[in-house]
Amino acid sequence: MSTLCAGVARRIINPPLGVKTFGFSSREGTVQAIESDLSATVLVLNHEGEKIAIVATDTGWLAYETINDLRERVAQTIGTAASHVLINLSHTHSSASMPEWVPDDPEQLSIQAGYRDLLCNWIEDAAREADANERPARIGSGWGDCGIGVYRREMGSDGIVFLGEVPDHPIDTSVGVIRVDDLDGIPIATLFSYGCHTVVVGPRSFVASPDFPGAARDVIESSLGGAALFLQACGGNVMPAGGMGYEVDCTDAKRRIGSILGGEVVKVASGIRTHVKRGSRTSLGSLSNISLWPWVPEDGDACGAFGAVEEVISLRYIDMPPLDEARSNQDKHHAALREARDRAARESEINVKTRFADWSDQLVEAIENDRKSIDVTIQALRINDIALTGISAESFFETGLEVKARSPIAHTQVLGYSNGCVCYLPRSVDYPPDGWDWQERYGVPDMLFQAYSLPVAIRPESEQLVVERAVALLQSLS
């Protein structure tokens, strides 16, 4: 009798037409259509009463406080601890903006808040259904390889890094695959992770879309059955091959990229057998000397290790400017915003100036209140020899590679955008050679801490602090 049970459920989470989207400051206007359904899928795993919930949602960003509250709600719904709930954001830039993301007019913020509340309710309902759907299960894992991503930190002839493409730069092309089956080997859920920005559907498309993960899920589910859950890995410095979509209709490109990824997942998952194993060598008993290894039923315990741990650490900011300089900066950016509005500037220009005005407010507030750090959640889940590590930041692929290499658990997938997304998490070598300048507007987003309205950059050693704590959590589960 299996000691592992699993249940899965999904909700369609399409945002309302008329809402603004997350991620592209250059996107003007609001959602005019649903390109294809956005969804949130919840997998609940139960080992002798201890439960883990994995939530994969087509959501670009949620406020840290909102996602912490949602984890508590899901935990209470299924009867577990919040530390056992992992919420991974696909980071699609064609999902609804949230009211905490950037200031806006009251009507727009009301639309966003209403959608945010519905989204949380839908995920909680899906968790309840998944928990009720639990049945005996087995789990297996494997790795694939997929080249749909490209390194995006390109250096210009002036030595300044900008958002571009560096095709010959190595990235992490691995595809982590986890297969959860019933006892007959029929898929309940297939989880797959890959680190790449979800921006194939670009800023000229006025649609809501799950981007390439949705197309990949379609391929997987039509081939294998069950539910497919995309888990965004460490894609902070990786773009889709071919770059950000420029066309008004990016559906074709999205399907192609998603089909490549989905096809790789199908290939790997099809080779994972959870219900049978290779038996002893057997003679066929024919005239010629033929022998084979038959598949025999898997009769071992389905779950030998199970658990979850998490830790919240504070990442310190670099030194802030004097208060009078910050207030002067605040006056400058608010004056620029007023001027743009007065002359009816393009919406994209107003979007950028609104973000910088909000950042200038946050800088002053941080200095006045001596706010010197930001919290990041690090989480580790383990089922047998499979581990998921979640980091609530836009982690770089190198961070994922290091944690995987140092993990004591055989199959370790490292995920960014998990249980929140509070900032970029560049490594110390990714910072400008002369250090981060609070008055500089950088051409590469991962140095533009103002995009998250952080008062200044986090200290360059922050990424290594996260790596060390993630490895320590994994070691505690081994």
296 CB-side CA count, 13 A: 10
First to last CA, the chain: 25
Asked if residue 282 has pLDDT above 90, the reply is no
**What confidence category does residue 157 fall into, taking pLDDT thresholds of 50, 70 and 90?**
confident
C-alpha distances in angstroms, 265 versus 53, 108, 149, 179, 228? Answer: 22, 39, 15, 10, 10
Q: pLDDT digit string (tens) for 376-419?
A: 999 999 999 999 999 999 999 999 999 999 999 999 999 999 99
The 10 Å Cβ neighbour count of residue 475 is 13
Asked if residue 1 has pLDDT above 70, the reply is no
Enumerate the domain spans of the chain: 4-276+304-310+375-424, 314-373+436-458
Q: pLDDT digit string (tens) for 207-265?
A: 999 999 999 999 999 999 999 999 999 999 999 998 888 899 999 999 999 999 999 99
Q: pLDDT digit string (tens) for 169-194?
A: 999 999 999 999 999 999 999 999 99
| 87, β-bridge pairs | 55
Model pLDDT, residue 298: 85
Q: pLDDT digit string (tens) for 83-140?
A: 999 999 999 999 999 999 999 999 999 999 999 999 999 999 999 999 999 999 999 9
User: Which of 130, 137, 298 minimizes the C-alpha distance to 229?
Assistant: 130
Q: pLDDT digit string (tens) for 340-386?
A: 999 999 999 999 999 999 999 999 999 999 999 999 999 999 999 99
DSSP letters, 239-301, are EETT-S--SS--HHHHHHHHHHHHHHHHHHHHT--SSEEE---EE--SSS--EE--EEE--S-
- C-alpha 255 chain-centroid distance: 20
Asked if residue 303 has pLDDT above 90, the reply is no
C-alpha distances in angstroms, 144 versus 177, 293, 411? Answer: 7, 25, 12
Asked if residue 2 has pLDDT above 60, the reply is no
Q: pLDDT digit string (tens) for 55-94?
A: 999 999 999 999 999 999 999 999 999 999 999 999 999 9
Share of the chain above pLDDT 90, in %: 87
> Pick the residue with more confidence: 276 or 8?
8
pTM here is 0.96
Average pLDDT of the chain? 95
263 token code pair? 């096809």
Q: pLDDT digit string (tens) for 288-300?
A: 677 788 888 888 7
Model pLDDT, residue 16: 98
The 10 Å Cβ neighbour count of residue 76 is 14
202 token code pair? 């670009």
